[in-house]
Amino acid sequence: MSSTVRFLHHPTSQPCRAVHQFMLEVEIPFEDEVVDLIEGDNEQQSFKDQYNPTGQVPILCDGDFVVWESSAIAFYLNEKFAAPDNWFGATMQQRANIQQYLHWHSTFLRRGAGAFFYTHFAECIWGKHDYSREIAKGRYTLDESMVLLEAWLTKSKYLCGDEISFADLLGYHEFVSHVAGAILSDADWQKYPRVRQWFDTITARPHSKAVSEMIMQVGAMRQAGTLIPMNRKTSLAKGTEITPGIPY
Strand partners, 6: 31, 61
pLDDT: which is higher, 109 or 247: 109
Q: Does residue 188 share a domain with residue 110?
A: yes
In angstroms, the CA 118 to CA 65 distance is: 34
Structural domain ending residue among the three candidates 84, 103, 136: 84
- Domain shared by 212 and 96, yes or no: yes
Domain with residue 76: its CATH number is 3.40.30.10
Tell me: the pLDDT tens digits for 167-182? 999 999 999 999 999 9
Cα gap 244→221, rounded to integer Å = 26
3-state secondary structure 132-157: HHHHHHHHHHHHHHHHHHHHHCCCCC
Question: Which element (helix H / strand E) includes 16?
Answer: helix 14-26
CATH of the domain at 208: 1.20.1050.10
Q: Which of 68, 84, 100 is the last residue of a domain?
A: 84
Which residue, 74, 92, 79, is CA-closest to 21?
Answer: 74
97 inside domain: yes
What is the mean predicted confidence (pLDDT) over 16-34? 98
Q: Where residue 1 falls among pLDDT bands split at 50, 70, 90?
A: low
Same-domain status, 172 and 215 = yes
User: Residues with Cβ < 8 Å from 37, sequence gap 6 or more?
Assistant: 10, 12, 13, 57, 232, 236
Does residue 72 sit in the same domain as residue 104?
no
Do residues 166 and 213 both lie within one domain? yes
Same domain, residue pair 110 and 153: yes
| Residue 111 CB partners (closer than 8 Å, separation 6+) | 138, 141, 237, 238, 239, 240
C-alpha to C-alpha distance for 36 and 34, rounded to whole angstroms: 6
pLDDT given at position 226:
96
- Whether 55 contacts 47, CB under 8 Å: yes
Give pLDDT tens digits for 133-146.
999 999 999 999 99
Task: Evaluate the omega torsion of the peptide bond into residue 58 and state whether it is cis, within 30 degrees of 0.
Answer: yes
29 and 47 within one domain: yes
244 inside domain: no
Query: What's the number of domains the chain is made of?
Result: 2
> Percentage of the chain surpassing pLDDT 70?
95
Query: What domain range is 71 assigned to?
Result: 5-84
Boundary of a domain, candidates 60, 84, 108? 84
Residues 97 and 211 in one domain: yes
Task: Clarify whether residues 19 and 78 are in a common domain.
Answer: yes
Query: Domain for residue 233, yes or no?
Result: no
| Amino acid identity for residue 126 in this structure | W
* Average pLDDT, integer, range 8-15: 97
